Amino acid sequence: MPQRTPWMVLSDEVQDAVERHRRPVVALESTIIAHGLPRPRNLRVAEELEGIVRAVGAVPATIAVLDGRAHIGLDKAQLERIAAGEGIRKLGHRDLAPAAAVGASGATTVSGTAFLAARAGVRVFATGGLGGVHREWTTTQDESADLRLLARTRVTVVCAGVKSILDVPATLQRLETLGVGVLGYGTDHFPGFYIRDSGEPVDWTVHAPEDVAVAMHAQDALGGPESALIVANPVPEAEQLNPDLHDRVLAEALTACSREGVTGQAVTPFLLDHLVRHTEGASLEANLAAVRGNVALAARIATAWSA
């Protein structure tokens, strides 16, 4: 049963679906909407993603914090507030309690969204890319809280890998150390977000939503640590960024980043913006194609899981 508190509000539709087990539910991350996509297109994308979930017969639960309270499922006006971005912070799971204290509003990252989805009784979650280990980790110790949260939260996350601006092999190594299972969906290679193949192998390949549901049931039946399951779903081949263009522009972006002395939280937005501008928007289209594919697959997994 979902653990409702004054700080966590389920929309009527989501609450009904979760409590009665009548309809599958898919949690959707909001950071991608507020901080990952250009306005005003981000609002149309947010609505489109909810529509993709509904088209499969599942209930979308976009998750965000408004005025200190976590919302699982947003209405139109709430979604518009998140997309407008005014005073909308970026909230990981550790930020939820402080946000409640000061009545802050924010979009939730993978860690914040997965944490809230699990508390609300929503098992399946779709996003674009996970946070991970940053390339300059040895000096900055910058590893996203996403990874450790997923090591102790029972959700199934559908993603297109991690953005290539991160250290992909190191991120996969951390997931192994943390004991988080990774399934390649129709692939034996970890996806590279904008491109189908990061060049890194994955140990397990599945081919159908039902296979993922079996893995989820096995996780529960076997017991043990309440870890997540990652479903790594590559962007469709026709919609991927040209891999040569990707490699060249990423190398230029990384050089520009260190030349201009960009550090800390500013690094990711800098690199992503550089990619969008220097691929004439093609990286944005590949990003959107990956997210759409993940949301559709998550809806099918949630349906197989609730069957």
Give the residues lining the site for Mn ion (CB under 5 A).
142
Among 15, 109, 187, 303, binds ligand PSU (CB under 6 A): 109
Among 8, 9, 29, 282, binds ligand PSU (CB under 6 A): 29
Among 73, 129, 209, 234, binds ligand PSU (CB under 6 A): 129
Write down the least CB distance from residue 14 to ligand PSU, Å: 20
Among 10, 32, 213, 271, binds ligand PSU (CB under 6 A): 32
The answer to the question of residue 93 lying near ligand PSU (CB under 6 A) is: no
The answer to the question of residue 271 lying near ligand PSU (CB under 6 A) is: no
Q: How many CB atoms lie within 10 A of CB 96?
A: 24
90 closest CA partner among 104, 69, 78: 104
Residue of 19, 29, 76, 200 with catalytic role: 29
Is the Cβ of residue 4 or residue 189 nearer to ligand PSU in the bound state? 189
The answer to the question of residue 78 lying near ligand PSU (CB under 6 A) is: no
The answer to the question of residue 234 lying near ligand PSU (CB under 6 A) is: no
Active site residue 239: no
Active site residue 163: yes
Report the alpha-carbon distance of residue 106 to residue 227 in Å, rounded.
25
Among 92, 191, 192, 209, binds ligand PSU (CB under 6 A): 92
3-state secondary structure the chain: CCCCECCEEECHHHHHHHHHCCCCEEEECCHHHHHCCCCCHHHHHHHHHHHHHHHCCCEEEEEEEECCEEEECCCHHHHHHHHHCCCEEEECHHHHHHHHHHCCEEEECHHHHHHHHHHHCCCEEECCCECCEECCHHHHCCECHHHHHHCCCCCEEEECEECCCECHHHHHHHHHHHCCEEEEECCCECCECCECCCCCECCEEECCHHHHHHHHHHHHHHCCCCCCEEEECCCCHHHCCCHHHHHHHHHHHHHHHHHCCCCHHHHHHHHHHHHHHHCCCHHHHHHHHHHHHHHHHHHHHHHHHHC
29 binds, among ligand PSU, Mn ion, none (CB under 5 to 8 A by kind): ligand PSU
Among 11, 15, 31, 156, binds ligand PSU (CB under 6 A): 31
The window from 32-40, 93-101, 175-183, 243-251 that contacts ligand PSU (CB under 6 A) reads 32-40
291 closest CA partner among 146, 157, 148, 107: 157
Is the Cβ of residue 11 or residue 127 nearer to ligand PSU in the bound state? 127
The window from 108-116, 177-185, 210-218, 247-255 that contacts ligand PSU (CB under 6 A) reads 108-116
The window from 26-34, 38-46, 116-124, 218-226 that contacts ligand PSU (CB under 6 A) reads 26-34
Write down the least CB distance from residue 243 to ligand PSU, Å: 17
- The catalytic residue positions are 29, 163
Binding site for ligand PSU (CB under 6 A): 29, 31-32, 35-36, 92, 109-111, 128-129, 131, 144-146, 163
